[in-house]
Amino acid sequence: MSKLKILIIMGRYLPGYKDGGPVRSIKNLSDYYGDKYDFEILTLDRDHGDDCQYEGIKEANWNDVGKAHVYYVKPGGFKVNIIRRLASDVDIVYLCGCFSDYALKAMLLKKIGLIKAPVVIAPMGLFSPLEFHRKYVKKKTFTTIINLFGLVDNLYWSCTSDMEVSDLKREIRADKSRIYIAEDLPRVVDEADIYKKKEVNQLKVIWLSRINHHKNLIGSIKMLQKCHDDIELSIYGTNEDSDEWNVCLEELNKLPENVKWTYKGVAESEKVVDIFKQYHIFLLQTKGENFGHAIQEALSGGCPCVISDLTPWQNLEAYNAGFVLPLGDESAFLKAIHYYSVMNEKEFNDCVGCAHAYAISASNARIDNSGYEKMFKAIINN
């Protein structure tokens, strides 16, 4: 029996890494199910904000990237004829997000019958209240139009949680029977043991994410301004908002002498876990995560996580893998940092082992309970 063929259309993919979660979500999907399904990906030929295309790729042609076949186009290259042609011989069309030109074109083609295959849209967290209210007028206009003209009729939706289903239904007239829950798949975890050097009263802290208001780097900086422990803070991230970064720079320069900081630039996706292995703890006071790939990657790199309570990762304390704390409770974050700072090497490596073990068990649980296979099978049967 031939493999099910699935066309994924998304803004950017490997070797790009600046878009963070969406790229990692599809890479993980391909890694786990690329032997069972034939994944084809239509995407741009360059990373976020880049003027030049990726080196060594074939444009407007198929490229083997991991377990997927990738078709790269120039900016503006999501043409109706390209989408229609690539969608003509697949079993399912899977759209990453709906606030994009390719998504609107695919919805229109489906509406008028020029795409025969089922079309699935993954909201990618874009309907959460915080995300939806960024460029609210544009997004509200878009959803009003697609609802009014029935462009959402006969579409399927791939959500990652019950909360995302609620967020979606608040804005889209989606048929409940056409909504599936398929949790994001984790990165494959290397099970080799991890050991880290550490001195008492010394702590290497990493902050790694996209630099924008939502990820709340500024909140972590202001919290660390009140820190009395000796900290080395390394910041990795794509600068998505220059105004936000400028405010962060002003506050970074107010840090006390015991908190040293360095901006390390953008972390390449395939090197992220190895980067985490160089640090003691991962700090992320995010205002909300759909999955939190960086959290899973930090745990995979043996980094206990000190994070806000606005992510799906809610039980770190139970596994000695970190702390999940109320976003506005600065004193709780400072206590957690001090807790790790005063540890000796042996004590800390007990925590490293627990974090790594939790990454393995949590990843296995997500794989075993993945909703992707159930969703694809149900859509095809429908």
Task: Write the DSSP assignment of 80-121 as a string of letters.
Answer: HHHHHHHHTT-SEEEEE-SSSHHHHHHHHHHHTTS--S-EEE
Which pLDDT score is estimated for 95? 98
Which pLDDT score is estimated for 78? 97
Which pLDDT score is estimated for 36? 94
Contact 52, 46 (CB under 8 A): yes
Lowest mean pLDDT, pick from 12-16, 18-22, 244-248, 310-314: 18-22
- Residue 18 reports pLDDT greater than 90: no
SS3 142: helix
55-103 pLDDT, tens digit per residue, is 999 999 999 999 999 999 999 999 999 999 999 999 999 999 999 999 9
Which pLDDT score is estimated for 139? 94
Average pLDDT over residues 297-309: 97
Helix (H), strand (E) at residue 250 = helix 242-252
> How much of the chain, in percent, has pLDDT values that exceed 90?
79
Which pLDDT score is estimated for 268? 85
- Residue 1 reports pLDDT greater than 70: no
- Residue 198 reports pLDDT greater than 70: yes
Domains and CATH numbers, the chain: 4-186+368-381 (3.40.50.2000), 203-364 (3.40.50.2000)
103-113 pLDDT, tens digit per residue, is 999 999 999 99
- Residue 289 reports pLDDT greater than 90: no
Q: Bigger pLDDT: 239 or 143? A: 143
Across all residues in the chain, what is the average pLDDT? 94
113-135 pLDDT, tens digit per residue, is 999 999 999 998 889 888 898 88
Q: What are phi and psi of 219, to 5 degrees?
A: -65, -40
- Residue 161 reports pLDDT greater than 90: no
Q: How confident is the model at residue 368 (pLDDT cuts 50, 70, 90)?
A: confident
- Residue 20 reports pLDDT greater than 80: no
- Residue 169 reports pLDDT greater than 70: yes
Residues 176 and 156: their CA atoms lie apart, in Å, by 9
Q: How confident is the model at residue 334 (pLDDT cuts 50, 70, 90)?
A: very high
Q: How confident is the model at residue 330 (pLDDT cuts 50, 70, 90)?
A: very high
Which pLDDT score is estimated for 256? 97
Which pLDDT score is estimated for 33? 93
Helix (H), strand (E) at residue 136 = helix 136-148
